[in-house]
Amino acid sequence: MNRNTKVIAVATQKGGAGKSTISIHLAVQAMQSRKNTQVVLLDLDPQGSVSDWAKLRDLEDPIVLQAMPGNLTAYLRQAEEDGADYVVIDTPPHAGGTIDVAVRAADLVVVPIRPGPFDINAAAGTVEIMRQAGRPGVFVLSQVAAVGPEGDDTEAVLQELYPEVPVAKARLGQRKAFMQALISGRAITEFDKPSSKAVGEIKALFREVKGSL
């Protein structure tokens, strides 16, 4: 890949962790981060959540394409030739081969984690793929309850188990606003007021991700 085109893969082998939500929001925030930023959002998940969102959307950007693992390289090459600044890849759960391909292609792997033992355990497979591919990653705590120690506890366990993968300081709360935005074909930054907590969380997350690229 052209180093001008940054590839972000959002991957974990656990369903329901918020991969599609994070993929969409990173793509839209990347697009909004600077004027004329070109972003391609690749949907590798057969469930097609990202593609379904794009159908609800009035705007043409970011460019959303449904892709298969076998033609990912061709899509990335095309994005590079077209001068894309960012490619964000949404991956399916429980599909080792697909995750392998996406992780190998990525400059950074974003691993969403819901607080609790199930997502922590499921992270092992994704981290192993990252290790084998020699790719850097970052854990993102998602759907974090407003009160309670679960977020901090999960972060502590992740840091102990996988010291080489940092945990993002930005966390995404358990917020209805994210879902309300998505079902209207928008991202939270297009849907909610700039001062909302959800908007602040997404902007903070993108700043961290961009800083890690």
What does the pLDDT average to over 177-185? 95
The predicted pLDDT at position 96 comes to: 63
Residue ranges with strand state E in 31-92 = 39-43, 63-66, 86-90
The predicted pLDDT at position 95 comes to: 59
| pLDDT tens track for 23-69 | 999 999 999 999 999 999 999 988 899 999 999 998 889 999 999 88
- Does domain 6-212 fall into CATH 3.40.50.300? yes
The predicted pLDDT at position 3 comes to: 59
Closest listed residue to residue 44, CA positions, set 80, 83, 77, 76: 76
The predicted pLDDT at position 93 comes to: 82
- The helix (run of H) or strand (run of E) holding residue 108 is strand 108-113
Q: Report residue 98 as tokens.
A: 């697909």
CB-based contact 113:154 (threshold 8 Å): yes
Residue 172 has pLDDT above 80, yes or no: yes
What does the pLDDT average to over 8-33? 93
Half-sphere exposure of 46 (CA within 13 A, CB side): 6
